[in-house]
Amino acid sequence: MEEAGGVAVVIEFVQPWMLLGVLGAAVPLWLHLFGRRRAPVLYFSALEFILAANPKKARALALREWTLLALRCLVVFAVAVALARPSVPLPGRAAEVAIAAGPQALVLVLDDSMSMAAGSQGEASFERARRRALALVADLPLGARAAVVASGFPARTLVQQLTGDRQALLRALDALRWRPRRDDAGRALHLAQSLLEGATDVPSRRVVILTDLQASGWQAADMPGLADRGQPVQTFVERFAPDSVENTAIVDATVDRGADKTGAQLRVEVSLVHHGHKAWRDYVSVRAAEREFKSLVQLQPGEVARRSFLVPASAQWAEVVLPGDSLEVDNRRLVRLDAATALKIAVINGAPRPVPRDDEAFFVAQALESGSAGPGELQVDRIAADKLTSAALADHDVVIAANLGSPPAQTLQALLEFARGGGGVLVTLGDNLPDPPGDYLAALLPARLGGVRSSGPAGAAAAPGLALDPGAADPAGLCSAAAAIARELHDAQVGLSEARAGRYVLPLPTPELASRTVLRFGDGAPALLAHGVGAGRVALWTTTIDRDWTDLPLQPAWLPFVHGTVRALAGPRALERKAAIEVGQVATLGRDDRAEQLQVRVEGGAAAGQGDHVAQAVLQKAGQWSISGLEVPGRYMATELRAGAALNSRPIVVVAPGSEGDLAAAVTGPLAARSAQLAQVGAVRTVPKSPVWTPALVALLLLLMTEAALVARGAWPVRGWVWRKVV
């Protein structure tokens, strides 16, 4: 027995009792040594003289006899081994789930994310996983029901419910292809749970996850427990490991328009990361205006490097290219050069202070300036509260009004006009709030304000009831502005449970309050509210954005919270100013009131080989276009039409997710532990095996043919160069 790929390599026999036939291999030997007829010995000197005179002939006869003896022993041995039907585990294959007999409920979770495109045993890991899923469905016994869930973002079911229709399941699997998406493992496992909740009448309920177990998608994932009284759900993981985890990926590409004062050139900033165990050294290229620019990069495992390229300002697009490696899809990335891509944010500081860390806008400005959570850029401008006018806000997309006092009518009017024109406004509160608030920004805010509630110092451990709960509001029951923020915060996986607030403002109750509340404190009081004003969105944060009333700016959730809220408030502008969106995300564009139709065509990049065609239909929603189904990285052009005539065109760049570039598997977590288990006794898990009896039968046939040839010839020819060398 030896270890290969974590699985004990042991030859197993389906009918081991047949190995008793191996003893028959001793029969030819016994016959040769003891069973031959003994002729009387006659001493004849002339014959002895002949044999002594021709020793080569004597050795040839002896060699022929021993060869025939060995062949006949091997023939008997091969017959016995073939009848015992031996098999050996396939090298590099982990334990697999075996389908038990009888009624059962089975959900297959198939990973169709980008990392599954990496090569595994000569083909993509996804193809191996899909073939395994097809085999599991084909093995379903009578009375079994099954369903398939794809875990690529957004996770989705391929059939609506558990079904016994194997043909429907096979068709769904045949049509499934991997896409350059990130993993949505948590939602995929929740979908599997919901499919199994009603299957309480079967003796077995199982979830089989077919994945590469890539760390960024599966490290923290686990199958949630069921509260019903049916059989407990067993979860199994079959891992399809890539042949190599060495991969270099493009994680970002941005444009600096101020690099050349003459305006003749633009600076393209490219960020690369190398994953794996070995150092990497090669060239990164940027192609623009039919020219190519290269830079040599050397990276250690886990290292990130930035390179700058000056490209002609006349070019509309640039393409960043890396040499081929384990994962090809993240080796190319398009960059827009023909339009400003920065999302512009104005921060209005209502309580400036000389010490930066005590300043009202310090933490939010640092969060916005320290880097974007997505592929786009953010540009932050600070505007004094007494300089706030409509003209000052004209070029901005989002305004953050931090702890304003009683604003003059001019300030309120500027904010209202900005929101009605499609801008986003975030209002935060603090000590400058009038007491009582009265009609403070009443025409702008999603709720009228009541008094200030205090519960001790900010961050007090004795106030667990004030923990923020991002799941307190149901996005399905929210107004459009609140739902947009809720989706952004959910996608950013913001963990706000550790934040505490010592003081916050209570909104006055109204019938619309629940539908406008995005986040709540642990005691149920609203923390973040939003509603629509004209074509824009306005949000209210009921505590401060510094450390005066809350410790949220000191928590890890602060950065994704700020970026997610700002992107949601920017709405359609966030896309139009964004450098790129990820595959699988829903894109939104503002709608021209004259437009009747939006046509989206894919034009270049990784999708160039597919030709110029309509990518998908879109739906009109409240003054904006909602675009889904952007499944291929590349360049898209969205054109608004009226009566078939084009009104305008806007580009959309779709990129592969950066998180999928690291092909290393999760080494900790519930699913990693399940994947590490070896084969167990019974019908639960088995090790895939390769039959050995077929080669044994082929060997038997060759042995019989060789033995027959020797007997038919009567003796080997003793001529020829090879034979002379032997004897």
3-state secondary structure 511-567: CCHHHHEEEECCCCCEEEEEEEECCEEEEEECCCCCCCCECHHHCCCHHHHHHHHHH
Residues 513 and 440 in one domain: yes
Please say which residue of 521, 556, 575 terminates a domain. 575
Q: Is residue 300 over pLDDT 90?
A: yes
Question: What confidence tier does 457 reach under pLDDT thresholds 50, 70, 90?
Answer: very low
Same domain, 383 and 476: yes
Residues 482 and 605 in one domain: no
Task: Give burial (CB, 10 Å; 0-12/13-18/19+) of 376.
Answer: buried
What are the CA-CA distances from residue 35 to residues 28, 38, 138, 518, 711 (Å)? 9, 9, 55, 95, 19
Residues 532, 448 within the same domain: yes
In this structure, the answer to whether residues 192 and 239 fall within a common structural domain is: yes
| 534 and 417 within one domain | yes
Please tell me whether residues 591 and 465 are part of one structural domain.
no
- Cα-trace Rg, the chain: 36
Q: Which residue has the tokens 């809350």?
A: 550
Q: Residues 676, 679, 680, 684: what is their CA dihedral angle, to the nearest 10 degrees?
A: 90
Rounded Cα gap, residues 606 and 331, in angstroms: 10
Alpha carbon distance 461, 387 (integer Å): 40
- Indicate if 105 and 207 belong to the same structural domain: yes
Is 380's pLDDT higher than 90? no
One domain for residues 439 and 485: yes
Residues 503 and 551 in one domain: yes
Q: Domain range spanning residue 482? A: 342-575
Cα–Cα distances in Å, from 706 out to 702, 712, 719, 724? Answer: 6, 10, 19, 20
Amino acid letter for position 156: R
Percent helix, strand and coil across the chain, each to the nearest 5: 30, 30, 40
Q: What is the pTM of this model?
A: 0.61
Give the pLDDT confidence score for residue 464 in this predicted structure: 42
Number of domains observed in the structure of the chain:
5
- Are 415 and 409 spatial neighbours (Cβ–Cβ below 8 Å)? no
- pLDDT of 602 reads 82
Give burial (CB, 10 Å; 0-12/13-18/19+) of 670.
middle
pLDDT tens digits along 247-265? 999 988 888 766 666 778 8
Residue ending a domain, choose from 285, 320, 336: 336
Q: Which is higher by pLDDT, 573 or 12?
A: 573
Please tell me the predicted confidence (pLDDT) of residue 270: 92
> Mean pLDDT over all residues of the chain?
78
pLDDT at 329 over 80: yes
Same domain assignment for residues 403 and 379: yes
Domain closes at, from 314, 336, 358: 336
Residues 133 and 219 in one domain: yes
Q: What is the pLDDT of residues 603-631, one digit of tens each?
A: 754 443 444 445 455 665 556 787 877 88
Cβ neighbour number for residue 173 with a 10 Å cutoff: 19
CATH of the domain at 532: 3.40.50.880
Rounded to the nearest 10 degrees, the angle between the axes of helix 693-713 and helix 55-84 is 150
Residue bearing tokens 């919270």: 561
Q: Specify the pLDDT at position 676.
A: 58
